[in-house]
């Protein structure tokens, strides 16, 4: 009888045991919906343009098209938020017509729809949550990186001292720093003060918060004041945002220069830019776990995901 009762009650005993294990055993905490990292970033893709693969990727196809992104990078450091580049802003159409000469428009363009970084942030209630963008750091001041500056009047805008020369003397065209974007007297410019402290092979650096999480380095060539940003996220992974030193990671790994015609128009100093690419290639060999994030490389950005998704 006892044996029969045991088997009759076995299903109930198994259920009770399973519930006990479920309730009492330690379990990994699940990430709450909308939970933010302490140190992380999100990619704000503001626009794109389809480009022949061969123009961006060594050995690429002339018949295949790939996306070249116009992205801003939202950096979170504890309770502070900053942007590295702005992508295309709310006034990009007027800016483009004012400062991109007609002969160059078929070759240097962006595609609709444009989703300005400010709009994307507002759509999720970012500013309603008493958050703000304290600083905008420009990798350089070209039109496709500074297009959204006027959308963030509350932010200080940080550039390297060498880039301030371009800011003070705006130019037009595909390799220009446009007056329509950077000429406003209301922009609160601030020159970065690099220190003679080596970091990952770069002779100068600036540890923005003093904790090694966000480190800026000069990378002259594409423009005299081009800079890169190292970010160490919650997981310990290090990402290196390189602006337009190279347009794709594939080009860095191959040690390949930009397509010669484009380089002649947009690189201030082609040989210096190529030295910067060679330095990046050496760094990747030394630190194969480092993740490079060029400003336009959709092959890198697509797998990381886009705002409101966070990389942590």
Tens digits of residue pLDDT in 155-192 = 999 999 999 999 999 999 999 999 999 999 999 999 99
- How many angstroms separate the CA atoms of 95 and 151, rounded? 13
Nearest 5°: the CA angle 213, 82, 217 is: 50
- How many angstroms separate the CA atoms of 92 and 148, rounded? 8
Query: What confidence score (pLDDT) does residue 116 get?
Result: 98
Residue 300 pLDDT greater than 90, yes or no = yes
- How many angstroms separate the CA atoms of 93 and 116, rounded? 12
Strands 206-207 and 188-191: unpaired
A 10 A CB-CB count for 257 gives: 17
- How many angstroms separate the CA atoms of 124 and 257, rounded? 39
- How many angstroms separate the CA atoms of 243 and 217, rounded? 12
Residue 24 pLDDT greater than 70, yes or no = no
All structural domains of the chain, each given as residue ranges with its CATH number in brackets, are 32-304 (3.60.15.10)
pLDDT band of residue 31 (cuts 50, 70, 90) is very low
- How many angstroms separate the CA atoms of 300 and 66, rounded? 12
HSE-up of 248 (CA within 13 Å, CB side)? Answer: 22
What tokens were used for 25?
A: 């055993």
> What number is the average pLDDT over the span 259-273?
94
> What number is the average pLDDT over the span 38-63?
95
Residue 26 pLDDT greater than 50, yes or no = no
> What average pLDDT is seen over the chain?
91
Place of tokens 């950096």: 75
Tell me the three-class secondary structure of the chain, residue by residue.
Answer: CHHHHHHHHHHHHHHHHHHHHHHHCCCCCCCCCCCCCCEEEEEEEEEEEEEEHHHHCCCCCCCCEEEEEEEEEEEEECCEEEEECCCCCCCHHHHHHHHCCHHHCCCCCCECCCCCHHHHHHHCCCHHHCCCEEEEECCCCCHHHHCCHHHCCCCEEEECHHHHHHHHCCCCCCCCCCHHHHCCCCCEEEECCCECCCECCECCEEECCCCCCEEEEECCCCCCCCEEEEEECCCCCEEEECCCCCCCHHHHHHCCCCCHHHHHHHCCCHHHHHHHHHHHHHHHHHCCCCEEECCCEHHHHHHHCCCCCCEC
> What number is the average pLDDT over the span 51-60?
92
Instruction: Please list the residues that pair with 72 across neighbouring strands.
Output: 44
Alpha-carbon separation of residue 268 from 154, 244, 265, 286, 288 (angstroms): 30, 12, 8, 28, 29
Between residues 31 and 180, the one the model is more confident about: 180
Query: What confidence score (pLDDT) does residue 140 get?
Result: 98
Query: What confidence score (pLDDT) does residue 297 get?
Result: 98
pLDDT over 70, % of the chain: 89
Residue 20 pLDDT greater than 60, yes or no = no
pLDDT band of residue 35 (cuts 50, 70, 90) is confident
- Are 230 and 279 in contact by the 8 Å Cβ rule? The answer is no
Residue 16 pLDDT greater than 50, yes or no = no
Residue 9 pLDDT greater than 60, yes or no = no
> What number is the average pLDDT over the span 265-276?
96
Tens digits of residue pLDDT in 88-139: 999 999 999 999 999 999 999 999 999 999 999 999 999 999 999 999 999 9
Place of tokens 């966070």: 310
pLDDT band of residue 34 (cuts 50, 70, 90) is low
Query: What confidence score (pLDDT) does residue 99 get?
Result: 98
Place of tokens 């966000």: 214
Q: b/e string for 123-159 if b means 16 or more Cβ within 10 A? A: eeebeeeeeebebbbbbbbbbbbbbbbbbbeebebbb
HSE-up of 186 (CA within 13 Å, CB side)? Answer: 9
């Amino acid at each position: 009888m006892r044996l029969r009762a045991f088997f009759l009650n076995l299903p109930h005993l198994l259920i009770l045991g399973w519930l006990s294990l479920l309730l009492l055993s330690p379990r990994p905490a699940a990430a709450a919906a909308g939970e933010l990292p302490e140190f992380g970033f999100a990619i704000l893709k503001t626009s794109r343009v389809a480009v022949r693969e061969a123009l961006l990727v060594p050995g690429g196809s002339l018949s295949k098209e790939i996306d070249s992104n116009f992205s801003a990078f939202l950096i979170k450091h504890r309770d502070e938020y900053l942007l590295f580049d702005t992508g295309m802003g709310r006034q990009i159409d007027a800016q483009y017509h004012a400062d991109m000469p007609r002969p160059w428009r078929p070759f240097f363009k962006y595609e609709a729809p444009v989703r300005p970084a400010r709009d994307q942030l507002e759509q999720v209630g970012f500013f309603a949550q008493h958050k703000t963008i304290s600083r905008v750091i420009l990798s350089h001041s070209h039109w496709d990186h500074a297009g959204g500056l006027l959308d963030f009047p509350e932010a200080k805008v940080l550039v390297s001292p060498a880039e301030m020369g371009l800011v003070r003397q705006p130019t037009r065209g595909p390799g220009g720093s446009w007056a329509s974007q950077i000429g406003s007297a209301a922009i609160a410019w601030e020159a970065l003060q690099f220190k003679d402290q080596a970091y990952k092979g770069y002779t100068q650096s600036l540890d923005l918060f003093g904790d090694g999480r966000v480190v800026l380095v000069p990378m002259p060539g594409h423009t005299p004041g081009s800079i890169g940003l190292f970010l160490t996220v919650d997981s310990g992974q290090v990402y290196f945002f390189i602006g337009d030193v190279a347009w794709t990671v594939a080009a860095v790994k191959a040690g390949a220069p930009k397509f010669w015609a484009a380089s002649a128009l947009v690189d201030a100093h082609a040989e210096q830019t190529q030295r910067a690419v060679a330095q990046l290639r050496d760094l990747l060999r030394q630190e194969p776990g480092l993740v490079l994030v060029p400003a336009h490389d959709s092959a890198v950005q697509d797998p990381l995901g886009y705002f409101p998704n966070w990389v942590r």
